[in-house]
Every structure is written in C-alpha cells, then in structure tokens.
Amino acid sequence: MRRCHDCPLNLLCQDDAAPAGDGGDACLRQRCVHLRSGEHLFRVSDEVDHYLHIIRSGDIKLYQHGRDGGQHIIEFLGAGAWVGLESLDEHQRHAGAVALTDCEIASVPYAMLIALLDRQPRSAEAFGQLLSATIARHQQHAAMLRSTSAVQRVAQFLLARLAQAHGMARATLPMSRQDIADYLGLTSSTVSRCLSALRRRGWLAMGQRAFTLPGLHNVEQVAAGAPLALDG
C-alpha cells in the first residue's frame, strides 16, 4: 500500500501482514511536524513527550550545552535518521534538536513503536541494529576527538558527509563553519584553514551549501593521517 510505503516505520515492519483486527490504525497515530531553519524540535531539559521522530526531509543538529557555556554538537542528522533515541525512558531531554534547513518530521508515539516490536519479533532485531549503529557512530566520534589532528578531523568529516550522499558525487553542507568546529572540537578559524588548504590543492570544491571532492584519494590519505600543511 502507498500508505505503508510512505510510513517512516516501514523499515521496522518486518512482517508482511498486520495482525487480525489491527487494520493499520496504530500507524495513523503518527503526526507530521514541519520546522523552518532555526526552529527547535525540542530543547535541552524539555520534558520528554514520549515521541520518537524520523526525519523525512531536511537536516537537524543534535546538541548539548558545554561546560563553558558554548555548544557541543553531538551529531548532524539527515533524511531517514531517528531523533530522540538518547532520551528513551527519561523525564527530561539530555540534548536539543534544531533544524539546519526546512524539515519535515514524522513523530511516532514510543508506545506505538513498542507495540510494533512486541508484535513483530524480527522488528526488535532491526531496532537493535539501529541502536547499535547510533552507539557506534558516537564512539567513533569520541575516538576521533581524542586521537586525530585538526586536518584529519575535517577530512574525515567531509568523507562521512559524502558517504551519506549514497553514491552521489556532491554532498550537502548545510551547517555553518562554527557548527562544524563545535562538532569537531576545533575553532571556526582552524576549520576554515583546513578547508582552504584542501581547496588550494584542488582536492575540495565548495559551492552554495554543498561540496565535491575532486581529490578524493588525497583527502582519504589525509583522513588516514598523511601530513598536510595548512599554510603556504
């Protein structure tokens, strides 16, 4: 059915048939939220509303407040990503989510998701894989901040954005230099110097909120630890 094809939960629905008497009514309890760039889906310390959110279109940044009063960005999330997993079964949000671009969000009651997982055992495995992938990304990010140079972080960030473009040669870059710096644990001036160094060598081409990597192999080498002078 078209409705099921468009449903944000369709990747978790592992069984072909709904149980007798269900009729798909549970899926109708999801709601659609539209955000403009700069608007919050939720803020740090908001009361948890027991909804999970799936991005249909647009980009969101997930952030926390740093000890110095600044912003610590946990993750940039795009279409297909789940938002709110970090606050399951909590009373208050541990992070805030704000739109980087205009977004369409599907919001699903957590209780509805639990009912789906109980009804379809194979869905529980799929959801477990989703949670494991989320944890793995956060662990990789933490490891990057501990053990890589500034230019390595920027190169790895660009490669990750390109990988999320699903085979496209061009990837979006909807966040600001300061956002990238907050995510990578750098200053905005350092991020700009790293990007400029890649551009001077012809390895990076940037447009309006998007980029390509003509020197993909070279950027991969930098991401792996090859030295790169930022000046000159």
Question: What is the dihedral angle through the alpha carbons of 74, 80, 85, 91, rounded to the nearest 10 degrees?
Answer: 100
Residue 215 has pLDDT above 60, yes or no: yes
Domains along the chain?
2-121 (2.60.120.10), 148-223 (1.10.10.10)
Residue holding tokens 């085979």?
A: 167
Does the CA dihedral 11-131-157-100 come out positive or negative?
positive
Q: Is the model more confident about 124 or about 6? A: 124
Tell me the C-alpha distance between 202 and 2, whole Å.
45
**Cβ-based burial of 76 (10 A; exposed 0-12, middle 13-18, buried ≥19):** buried
Return the pLDDT at 177.
Answer: 92
Percent of residues, the chain, with pLDDT higher than 70: 86
pLDDT in tens, 99-118: 999 999 988 888 777 777 77
pLDDT of residue 34: 94
> For 51-59, what is the mean pLDDT?
89
The pLDDT > 90 percentage for the chain reads: 39
Res 27: pLDDT:
58
User: Looking at per-residue confidence, does 90 or 80 come out higher?
Assistant: 80
pLDDT at 142: 83
CA distance 166 to 126: 20
Q: What is the model's pLDDT at position 63?
A: 92
Report in angstroms the alpha-carbon separations of 116 from 99, 120, 137.
28, 6, 25
Residue 16 pLDDT exceeds 60: no
List beta partners, residue 53: 83, 107
Task: Write the Ramachandran bin of 45: left for phi over 0, alpha for psi from -120 to 50, otherwise beta.
Answer: left
Name the average pLDDT for the chain.
83
CA distance 95 to 64: 5
Neighbouring C-beta atoms of residue 189, cutoff 10 Å = 10
pLDDT digits (tens, 9 = 90+) for 156-196: 999 999 988 777 788 989 999 999 999 999 999 999 999 99
Better pLDDT: 144 or 103: 103
How large is the angle between the packed helices 150-163 and 216-223, nearest 10 degrees?
130
